[in-house]
Structure 1
Amino acid sequence: MEERDDIITLLDEEGKEQDFEVIMTLEVEGNEYAILAPVDSDEDEDAYVFKIVYENEDEYSLVTIEDDEEYDNVVAAYETLMDEEM
């Protein structure tokens, strides 16, 4: 199977691996975020939004956004970008 740069593997709450496609990364108010969608899904699921926190130049973590206002700002920025592309 060909390895793709836009596919990452995350662990779910049960410790099982799940592949996600990186739909896009975007910057909002000085922070970077990743929009991910499950690769192997039978359903038309929504995308997931994670904050990218850099440990150093080569390592980063994807962090769940806990703040509702921050999440809403990222979703609004994503929707604006999607509307502009159409």
Structure 2
Amino acid sequence: MSDHKDDHVHGPDCDHDHEHGEDIFIVTDEDGKEHEMVMVYTFQSQEQAYAVLLDRNDPEADGVIFRVEEEGEEAYLVNIEDEAEWERVVNIYNEIIAQEEE
């Protein structure tokens, strides 16, 4: 999993261009390069929502996990800075993937 800066979550009423039925998130990495990301999975852990995004133009790249934070009716993708939280959500996601592969 890679580490990216936070970005906002596009809602159904956003005015950005993206394909119908596919929410695209523009995420800027630590080098300042923008990536078009697609949310492929969400899950909950300890009453906190998390989202897994894949690079739309590089489907072979590792997915990225963000914490989903809500402020009013807006939702934001936020980096997971805490090492213990990161390890916990990666382990949960790996368990989910293993179950789906069975």
TM-score by length of 2: 0.70
What residue number does 2:86 align with? Answer: 71
Tell me the distance in 1 between the aligned counterparts of 2:27 and 2:40.
18
Tell me the distance in 1 between the aligned counterparts of 2:75 and 2:39.
15
What residue number does 1:33 align with? Answer: 50
Query: What are the ranges of 5 or more consecutive residues in structure 2 without an aligned counterpart?
Result: 1-17
What residue number does 1:81 align with? Answer: 96
SS of residue in 1 equivalent to 2:21: coil
Contact 2:27 2:37 in 1 (8 A): no
**Aligned length in residues:** 82
CA RMSD of aligned residues (A): 1.9
Is 1:59 aligned to residue 64 of structure 2?
no
Query: What are the ranges of 5 or more consecutive residues in structure 1 without an aligned counterpart?
Result: none
Residue identity in the other structure for 1:52: V
Higher RCO (C-alpha under 8 Å, 6+ residues apart)? 2
Residue identity in the other structure for 2:42: T
Identical counterparts, % of pairs: 24
TM-score by length of 1: 0.82
